Amino acid sequence: MLASGSSGNCIYVGSGQTGLLVDAGLSGKETLRRLEALQLSPSRVRAICVSHEHNDHTSGLRALQRKYGLDLFANAGTIEALNRSPDMQDIQWKVFSTGFAFAVGDLTVEPFAVSHDAFEPVGFVVAAGRERVGIATDIGIATGLVRERLKGCRVLVIESNHDERLLQEARRPWHLKQRIAGRQGHLSNTSAGRLVCELAGPELERVFLVHLSEECNRHDLAMKTVQQILAQAGHARIRVSLTYPDRISDVWRA
C-alpha cells in the first residue's frame, strides 16, 4: 500500500516479472518517490487498474501515463465518468468488462462489482499462479458476489473506514453520515472484521485495513476491533496490518 485514505489511494502488486498499480490517487511525483523508497523502478510497472472515478483514486493517472506510457485499465462506466473532466479526456484507455478476467504480463486481474456511490465501481483479485490478492477499498456492503470473489485469497485488502460510534458523534451533516453508513458508502471496522471472518479460509494469512477515516476512526481502534472479531471466531493466526495516507504500509511477500 503506497497510500491509503481520503487524500489518496495507490497499491502496488507485482510478480517477479510484472508490476501494476491499483488506483493512482497520489501525484505522479509522489508515486515515483514511494516506489523508489521500496527500491522498485517505474519500469517494473506495466499498468494501472482503476477501481472507480473518485479523485482520491485517479488524480495521478494522466501524469503517470504521459511520463511512463503505462496501460490504463478501467470499465466503461468509470471511463465515462472520468471523461466528464476536461483534464481526463485525452487519456488512452484499455477497457475491461466487469466480471471478466484480463492479463497484465503474467498477472491475472479479475474485476468484480462492488456497492459504492460511483458509476461502475469494482474490486479486484490479482493472481500470480496460485497466489491471490483480493482488493476492496471502497465498498458499502459485502454482497454475496464480493464474498464469492474474495474466497481463497492469501492476502485481503479491505476497507475499514469508520467506527460506528465515532461516525455518529462526528460534526458532519446527517445526510453525509447516512451516505457513509449506507449500502453505497463505506465499511465500518465491525463490518470489515465480520467480512474477513467469513473469508478466513486456510489460505488467508494477512489482512490490510484501508481507507481509514481521519475524523471517524482511529488506527488503534480499527486494529483492535478487527483483531478481536477474528480472535473470537478462532482466527487469531491471521495477521492484521494498518495502512496510512502519508507513508508506505508493511510489505507482504509470498
pLDDT over threshold 90, residue 229 = yes
CA distance 95 to 97: 7
**Spatial CA neighbour of 189 closest among 222, 218, 144, 232:** 222
Span 129-176, pLDDT tens digits: 999 999 999 999 999 999 999 999 999 999 999 999 999 999 999 999
Query: What is the predicted pLDDT for the residue at 86?
Result: 86
Q: Is 49 domain-assigned?
A: yes
Span 59-92, pLDDT tens digits: 999 999 999 999 999 999 999 999 999 888 889 9
**Spatial CA neighbour of 156 closest among 112, 197, 188:** 197
**Spatial CA neighbour of 121 closest among 47, 21, 53:** 53
Share of the chain above pLDDT 70, in %: 100
Query: What is the predicted pLDDT for the residue at 204?
Result: 98
CATH number for the domain that contains residue 44: 3.60.15.10
**Spatial CA neighbour of 215 closest among 182, 166, 181:** 166
Query: What is the predicted pLDDT for the residue at 99?
Result: 98
Q: Is 2 domain-assigned?
A: no
Q: Is 228 domain-assigned?
A: yes
CA distance 33 to 30: 5
Q: Is 6 domain-assigned?
A: no
- Domain span holding position 191: 11-242
Give the pTM: 0.96
Q: Is 1 domain-assigned?
A: no
Span 10-53, pLDDT tens digits: 999 999 899 999 999 999 999 999 999 999 999 999 999 999 99
Query: What is the predicted pLDDT for the residue at 89?
Result: 80
Query: What is the predicted pLDDT for the residue at 206?
Result: 98
Span 171-227, pLDDT tens digits: 999 999 999 999 999 999 999 999 999 999 999 999 999 999 999 999 999 999 999
Neighbours of 248 (CB within 10 A): 17
Q: Is 250 domain-assigned?
A: no
Q: Is 98 domain-assigned?
A: yes
Please tell me the total count of domains within the chain: 1
Angle at the Cα of 109 from the Cα atoms of 199 and 29, rounded to 5 degrees: 105
HSE at residue 85, side-chain half, CA atoms within 13 A, is 14
Q: Is 137 domain-assigned?
A: yes
Span 96-119, pLDDT tens digits: 999 999 999 999 999 999 999 999
